[in-house]
Structure 1
Amino acid sequence: MPEYALWSVVILLGLELMSYLVNEIPQRFFNPSAIPIRGKHLDVLSWKDISFITWNKFTTTLFTYHALRFCWLSPRIAWGWSEMTILNTVIAFFSLFVVYDFFYCIWHRILHVRGLYKFIHKHHHHQAAPSRGNADAVNVHPIEFIVGEYCHLLAIFIIPCHAVVAAVFVVLGGILASLNHTRYDIAVPLLFDTKAHDQHHVIPTVNYGQYTMLWDRVFGTYVPHPLSSRPKAE
């Protein structure tokens, strides 16, 4: 039990550090444009919001333990530095995000099915203009959160990779999901754009992907943010 308790403390402290850095680093070093608020901002978190956020953060300690255990025991995960190849590093890195978002898009779309929506996913959409980063990102129903988290492990199970790549995938996934719930306009062409997820909070029936809009383009559910077609001011 002491080891489990120590693991939980380390992961929870790591989450708090990540949350702080996601909010502070962009504005201190990159000064990104702000995405205009087009929906109602949830100014005050309710007891239910705080309970879900707290529970989901603790659930992360369980997920990270399972992810590490799988990577340690699976013959599909390489650990030695000499075992690094282009296939299990660079190619695997991008493949993990593509595979993850395939399953996440399907799960996210199911959560929007009429009749089911009000029981699980509606809670997350109480916030129409996310701004708190990680807090708004994990402010979801526990069922939604746990499935979304373990989609990362499913991707690692499917794509053979190096342990370092698996770790970076999980950590970077948390950072990108948090950035999706800020007002920072941050984009990497063809790969990631915070405006895409902001568009989902305004129009809930589009842009179901978490990290990439690849599958939304394939499934015909991608709608660009109004700012995407406008040149940025100098």
Structure 2
Amino acid sequence: MLDWFEHEGHVCIVFELLGLSIFEFLRQNEFLPFSVEQIRRMAFQIFKAVCFLHRNKLTHTDLKPENILFVRSDYDLEYNEDLVREKRLRSLDLKVVDFGNTTFDHEPHESLVSTRYYRAPEVILGLGWNQSCDVWSLGCVIMEFYLGRALFPTHDSKEHLAMMEKVLGPIPPHLLKQTRKKHYVHSECLNWDDEYIRKHCRPLKLYMQMQNEEERQLFDLLSCMLEYDVSRRITLEEALWHPFFSPLRT
């Protein structure tokens, strides 16, 4: 915090001036996806920032491209390999912002957290949440960097869960047994039959565009982050040691 002042009854806080959010840059760049190398450098910074929060017993709870800002967003116009003119950032330095909903481990936890597209299944099912909900959100964010669009673009909870099943496979029955939202469940399975989802969503590995080692490593990391069972979901501390980040550690 650099300064603060009051304006018409509101307390205003002055922070350093940063560049565009990742969402705004994507929007201005025609939603062209980032390269795997750009994703690696961006994700490593974001994971370190949120890992710092987690070590200090905090959960951000609202991680999304709008809340991750470039330090500077100046760019050059270049033609990519498909001869499409795109904005190429001169720096990929990032900062995580907006701690308005950040929650200490010991504080009461609101039942509903995270912006819809980035909301973890345990939150939707009302099973309670902890720091691992940030890991799920970041899995969705990294996939958005790769695709240039949201992985789960919906505003309906049941449709959201159905999209997860199409992309990640069935939700484990033991999680569905625990939820009080029984209208989502039939015979211990998620109750859905949606032609739109069948057409527009596909299994995670089928989104992979290049069958090379670095993309396999990226998708292995994503599958560890987008794990339904909180007890099996990777932590950010572990994620920073994933082979995908080896080039940045050496």
Same fold (TM over 0.5): no
- Normalising by structure 2, we get a TM-score of 0.25
More strand by percentage: 2
Which one scores higher on RCO, CA 8 angstroms, separation ≥ 6? 1
Structure with higher Rg: it is 2
Q: Which one has a larger percent helix, Structure 1 or Structure 2? A: 1
